[in-house]
Amino acid sequence: MSILVPESRRWLDAPLPAGARVTVAGVAGGVGTTTLTGLLWWTLTTYASRSVGLLDHGGGALHARLPAASPTRTPDLVVHDAGPVALSGAPTLAAAAPLVVVCAATAAGIDAATTAVRELTPRPEEAWRRCVVVPVATTGAGLPGTALREHAHRQGLPAAVVPLRRSRPLAAGGDIPDPARSRATADAYRSAVAVAAEAMRCLTSTMGSTPHARRR
């Protein structure tokens, strides 16, 4: 399944600093934080050809849903499921870069994500460098991506908004499948690639590895 575009490839292939980590935090429970973390692990493992570790502070469900993941002693990158703590002011999030904030694909979800980003990164230019907001439609269709981005703009959300496409198999729970073997989750993986690329943009921008992309 070829789902990469040149811009995504550019960021997925960018050099990584030592100790690189992507932290994923939800604004509440049940918004898709664990699902997105699993999709990012598969995406970075498959399309970025990196050794990717997992760290689960979200209650232990992540490893149960990723039976293919095995412990990695010296990973190039760690994907950290921090759980539903984006609005908690947790000290570990204050320095997380990149920080992927997961919310419901609704206006209220964007409002909650805006609050979280503003509390964690008071300066808009810093938020743009280190935060990505991912609305997830866990039940029903949710708002379309254009409507979510327009609402985020009206709210003054100073971060990229990359919606995750709804997938019924993923919303039902269970294993998060290998992208090469699951056509039913192809759309979700296409959007996960965009999330991963945006996270890598933030990572390389904050570390000064490459010039950060212009805001779209």
Roughly how many angstroms between the first and final C-alpha of the chain, as a whole number? 26
**How do the domains of the chain map onto residue ranges?**
21-207
Nearest to 55, CA basis, from 116, 43, 69 = 69
Each residue's pLDDT tens digit, 7-37: 788 888 888 888 899 999 999 998 999 999 9
How many other C-beta atoms can be found within 10 angstroms of the C-beta atom of residue 169? 14
What span, in angstroms and rounded, lies between the C-alpha atoms of 86 and 119?
9
CATH topology of domain 21-207: Rossmann fold (3.40.50)
pTM over 0.95: no
- Sign of the CA dihedral with 72 first, then 193, 94, and 58 last: negative
Nearest to 145, CA basis, from 99, 172, 110 = 110
Contact present, 133 and 98 (Cβ < 8 Å):
no
How many other C-beta atoms can be found within 10 angstroms of the C-beta atom of residue 74? 6
Each residue's pLDDT tens digit, 165-214: 888 888 888 888 888 777 878 888 889 999 999 999 888 877 654 433 33
What span, in angstroms and rounded, lies between the C-alpha atoms of 146 and 125?
23
Better pLDDT: 90 or 29: 29
Helix (H, G, I), strand (E, B) or coil at 79: strand
Token duo for residue 118 = 């503003």
